């Protein structure tokens, strides 16, 4: 069984912001496989189904970004998964150009507060992550204001493609493993 988490902030005001890339990519993946989020618990909302023959739980933490680890710690413990091989986290990354993907099997949280919380609460950096580039913050911008802002008209088509690529990457991870996805998308 795999836990696939998309990171973001709950609430309509955050729906299409840079920080909600994980939610948007997860929503697309869920639509492809007819998996919604009918269940509440573990400080999130989640739904179960199958992708590429694998049992999956799609999870959206509802703790707001900076406390995402509370949800993932709870749901990973409940389903007794091997975090290093059965957890996939999708999230935004300001160190990548808009629309660029990076897949890793391990790594630091960088400056991402949601990932810092996940790493701290899970006690490991060893889990699969799909990072979606949103671009660097412009000079003079506050970081929080930037990641909570929307996309420009030029960026939006790139991001829609990126959400599709992120969903494709997760499907490939489930079919052939993270190395195959890294070779294709990195």
19 annotated active-site: yes
How far apart are alpha carbons 142 and 89 in whole angstroms? 25
User: What token pair was written down for 149?
Assistant: 């802002």
How far apart are alpha carbons 7 and 63 in whole angstroms? 10
- Cα first-last separation, the chain: 25
User: Which of these is catalytic: 19, 33, 42, 112?
Assistant: 19
Residues with catalytic roles = 19
């Amino acid at each position: 069984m795999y836990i696939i988490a998309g990171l973001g902030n709950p609430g309509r005001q955050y729906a299409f912001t840079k920080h909600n890339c994980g939610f948007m990519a997860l929503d697309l993946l869920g639509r492809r496989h007819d998996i919604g989020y009918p269940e509440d618990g573990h400080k999130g909302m989640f739904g179960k189904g199958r992708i590429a023959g694998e049992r999956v739980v799609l999870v959206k933490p509802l703790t707001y970004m900076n406390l995402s680890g509370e949800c993932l710690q709870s749901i990973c413990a409940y389903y007794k998964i091997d975090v290093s091989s059965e957890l996939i986290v999708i999230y935004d990354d300001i160190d990548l150009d808009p629309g660029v993907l990076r897949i890793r099997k391990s790594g630091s949280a960088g400056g991402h507060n949601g990932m810092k919380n996940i790493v701290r609460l899970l006690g490991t950096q060893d889990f699969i992550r799909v990072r979606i580039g949103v671009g660097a913050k412009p000079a003079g911008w506050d970081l929080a204001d930037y990641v909570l802002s929307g996309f420009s008209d030029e960026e939006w088509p790139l991001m829609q493609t990126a959400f599709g690529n992120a969903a494709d990457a997760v499907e490939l991870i489930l079919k052939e493993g993270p190395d195959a996805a890294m070779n294709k998308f990195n």
